[in-house]
Amino acid sequence: MKDQFLEKDEMREIIDEFIVEAGELTEKAIQDVVVIENNPDEEMINSIFRAVHTVKGTSSFLGFDALSTLAHRAEDILGMVRKGNVAPDHAVGDALLEALDLIKTLLEEIKESGAEQSDTAPTIEKLEALKNPEKKEPGEMCEEAGAVKTDELHDVSKEQEGAPKGKEPGEIVVEGKGARENQVNNLPIKQKTQTHKEESTIRIEVKKLDELMNLAGELVLGKNRLILLNNIVKKSDATNNALDNLADITNYIEVVTNELQLSVMRARLVPISKLFNKVPRLARDLSAEFGKEIGLTMEGEETELDRSLIEALHDPLIHIIRNSVDHGVETPEERARKGKQKEGTLSLKAYNEGNNVIIEVFDDGKGINVEEVKKKAREKGILGDAELATLPAREAMNLVFAAGLSTAKKVSNISGRGVGMDVVKTNVEKMNGQVSIDSEEGKWTKLTMRLPLTLAIMRALIVGVLDDLYAIPLNTVTELVKLSEGLIKSVDKKEVLVLRDKVIPVVDLARVFTGEPQPGEDKYVIICNIGEKTIGIKARAVEGQEEVVIKPLGEFLGNVKGIGGATIRGDGKAILILDMSALVSHSSFLNAYRKIA
Amino acid sequence: MKRVLIVDDSPTMRKFVGYVLRRKDYATEEAEDGLDAMEKLSNYEIDLVIVDLNMPNMDGISFVKNLRHSYYNLDLPVIMLTTTSDRELQEEAYGAGINMFLTKPVQPNVLLDSVESLLGGGA
């Protein structure tokens, strides 16, 4: 009937809307279920109930019967939780999560093939089984836990009847000192309501935003050319009146373009909570899998980041957290032996620092054994004895990011899938980010990721090496040193620059790119900071700062070590953008590379 | 042209009801919960409201009660459209001041007939 009434494409549009809506509701409900397991917040239970209720209603109305029946059963359980007839414990959480996961799968199937395919019977059975547990009063639960004896409970019941304000049985048990307070704490406590701020948003296809971003990028290039032209013309004729106009317009276009580019960039920013929201569920499942007890804290979920970065961060972050739970945090027994709190802490923090977003993952587990890492590095031939002896502890720790170095003694089914921290590093560097690790053995480990706000546009310093120009990402540049004779010294056949008592290794790009020393005089050293490291880069000329639009090198050239991409300058010529992280590893592991090469 | 306010927290439902009504040349406005609907009512000339029951912030029954508090909205026709067919809730809704109770899933022609009957004559 409704199909005849509405046009086919109208129906299709309604179903599309339904898939998006139900998907979002389900995703949110999954996050909330993990929360109510530990903290049965009334408003949150209501919101899960509403979500499942809506999915049930709309799916039945669109004729997706399996989906609607499944949602209906889940709604029944949630209704009982809401009324307080069922406590939202782990068993309930497991069944609800299974149901919600299945709902997501069914939605995926509808999206792909237009019909539900998965079998919902086993999940529905689990939900049904939860429906008929014996109803237990809080007092009964105290009794079962051995906190109070049955006859004490009877007294309590009487007292409750006589109590003026109708105290809860649990409350009275505590007052009478029959049970310690924390024994009653696992009974539902009403916690402060977490209000979810509703954002006023509209949905835009990512493709459309990408197009806008591309256009803004092209406009930046156009603006650069206009500035260049303006400068050339001004030099040739400084008296012409029309030229003042050109200068005005150039100025105007520059301001507008910059604003436009910023706005488009902001439109692409998404709060990192999109990513962090998945962590509680992950931590829950991983703790169960590895028999760990983990308390999770998260900070700065509102920090914004380009959406493509959020997507690209997903896998590395999951891997890092798996690593923390698997190899970082000890088992409760081990922690007790060490005199630590039984429950390990895992905390995630995100914040802005200048034009960067910093993400920290901290755990108070066993930390990194530096000697172990060094031993592994020696065994795998990543570094030789000489380098290892002089390597500072902090840098040695960061060897965990080197390919082929896994310090975990036992290979677990997750952390040992053949991908290690080197993959995390590669992924983060692909985003023009940096990753580093710090730790105190036996106490804690902190992994820090530093990411740019956006991938598409950045400020760069344009420098001359040999006869070509290169762009160095400006966020890594700390200062420029003009070279005079004797400033660069040689230590162990490596060039270094001593700057205010600090020894900085110097990279000779001409040599890196050609493989041999090149004649000619370098006039500058550009000092760059990458993570914990500082290096100097020799240059023949420095052209100045410029906004560059990053273009990938394309499949033909692919991954050239040390080159992060290319850009087109105001004069229409293409120049290469240096990949600083790659250059740093080049300078510090130079010998290792030589061995391989 | 008669204007109908559709109040539902599900965009899918709003879209569906919207399509059905616009097919018969009704103009439509949408609100995602009771609070939002109160605001829309003060900003638009609305001839009829179709409201869901279970919504965040302000549910359907509270919305209708609030609505009927105002002298100006005493005669504004309200249809409650919801998945529940619970008798008690139905009575509570009528008590709050709705004019008609419809159960989802609703057939388009049933919905249109109901709207038409309450507005007396077409769009």
Of B5, B65, B12, which Cα lies nearest the Cα of B36? B5
User: How is A470-530 classified by DSSP, letter by letter?
Assistant: EEEEGGGEEEEEE--TT-EEEETTEEEEEETTEEEEEE-HHHHHHSS---S---EEEEEEE
A364: number of Cβ within 10 Å: 23
End-to-end CA distance of chain B: 5
- Binned at pLDDT 50, 70 and 90, residue A314 comes out as confident
Query: CB-based contacts of A559: which residues, under 8 Å, 6+ apart?
Result: none
pLDDT in tens, A255-302: 888 778 777 777 778 889 888 988 998 888 888 888 899 999 999 988
Examine the pLDDT at A346 and tell me if it is beyond 90. Answer: yes
E strand or H helix that includes residue A157: helix A150-162
| CA distances (Å), origin A232, targets A236, A243, A461, A570, A571 | 7, 11, 21, 12, 11
Q: What is the rounded CA–CA span in Å between residue A174 and residue A156? A: 10
**Edge-to-edge strand list for the sheet holding B3-7:** B27-31, B3-7, B48-51, B78-82, B100-103
> Residue A135: helix, strand or coil by DSSP?
coil
Whether the pLDDT of residue A79 is over 80: the answer is yes
pLDDT in the model for residue A362:
95
Q: Is the pLDDT of residue A1 over 50?
A: no
A538 in Cβ contact with A443 (< 8 Å): no
**Alpha carbons A223 and A88: distance in angstroms, whole number:** 59
Among A14, A52, A62, A76, the strongest candidate for a mutation testing the B interface, having the largest count of B CBs within 10 A, is A14
Decide if B12 and A1 are in contact by the 8 Å CB cutoff: no
Longest dimension (CA), chain A: 105
| Contact partners, residue B98, CB within 8 Å, separation at least 6 | B51, B64, B78, B79, B80
In this structure, the strands spanning A563-568 and A574-578 are: antiparallel
Interface of A with B in 52-81 (CB under 8 A): 53-54, 56-58, 60-62
Distance (Å, rounded) from C-alpha A321 to C-alpha A346?
8
Position of tokens 């373009």? A257
Q: What is the pLDDT of residues B59-91, one digit of tens each?
A: 899 999 988 887 778 889 999 998 877 888 888
Q: In what order do the strands lie in the sheet with A574-578?
A: A541-549, A457-465, A468-473, A574-578, A563-568
pLDDT digits (tens, 9 = 90+) for B2-41: 999 999 988 888 988 998 898 888 999 999 999 999 988 8
The better pLDDT of the pair B50, A520 is held by B50
The mean pLDDT of A535-556, rounded to a whole number, is 81
Instruction: Specify the residue for token string 């040599």.
Output: A511
Do the chains contact at B105 and A60, CB–CB below 8 Å? yes
The closest alpha carbon to A344, from A353, A334, A352, belongs to A334
* pLDDT surpasses 80 at A24: yes
Phi-psi group of A547: left, alpha or beta (phi > 0 → left; psi -120 to 50 → alpha; rest → beta): beta
ipTM of the complex: 0.72
pLDDT in tens, A180-221: 444 334 333 333 333 344 445 666 777 777 778 778 888 888
Alpha carbons A389 and B17: distance in angstroms, whole number: 74
**Contact yes or no for A2 and B108 at CB 8 A:** yes
Q: For residue B108, list chain A residues with Cβ-Cβ distance below 8 A.
A: 1-2, 5-6
Q: Please give, rounded to a whole number of angstroms, the shortest distance from the CA of B55 to a CA of chain A.
A: 7
Q: Which residues of A touch B55 (CB under 8 A)?
A: 50
Confidence of residue A35 (pLDDT cuts 50, 70, 90): confident
Q: Is residue A28 within 8 angstroms of chain B, CB to CB?
A: no
Of all residues in chain B, the one with the smallest CA distance to A19 is: B12
Cβ separation B11–A13 shorter than 8 A: no
Q: What is the pLDDT of residue B100?
A: 92
Higher pLDDT, A9 or A276: A276
B18 phi/psi in degrees, rounded to 5: -60, -45
From chain B, the residues in CB contact with A50 under 8 A are 9, 54-56
Q: Are A123 and A99 in contact (CB under 8 A)?
A: yes
- Separation of alpha carbons A84 and A82, rounded Å: 5
The CB-based long-range contact list for A17-21 (8 Å cut-off, 24+ gap) reads A17/B11, A17/B12, A17/B15, A18/A58, A18/A59, A18/A62, A18/B12, A19/A107, A19/A110, A19/A111, A20/A203, A21/A54, A21/A58, A21/B10, A21/B11, A21/B12
pLDDT tens digit sequence for A443-500: 999 999 988 876 667 788 999 888 889 999 887 888 999 888 778 887 777 788 888 8
A56 vs B83: CB contact, 8 Å cut-off?
A: yes
Structure tokens at A587: 């300078």
Cβ-based contacts of A62 with chain B (< 8 Å) = 12
> Which DSSP category does A268 fall into?
T
Predicted confidence at residue A395, as pLDDT, reads: 82
Note whether A225 and A546 are within 8 A (CB): no
Q: Which of B16, B55, B56 is the closest to A14 by Cβ?
A: B16
**Cα B77 from Cα B2, distance rounded (Å):** 12
Q: What is the mean pLDDT of residues A395-400?
A: 84
B3 sits in which H/E element: strand B3-7
CB contact under 8 A, A17 and B9: no
| Chain A residues lying within 8 Å of B9, measured CB to CB | 50, 54
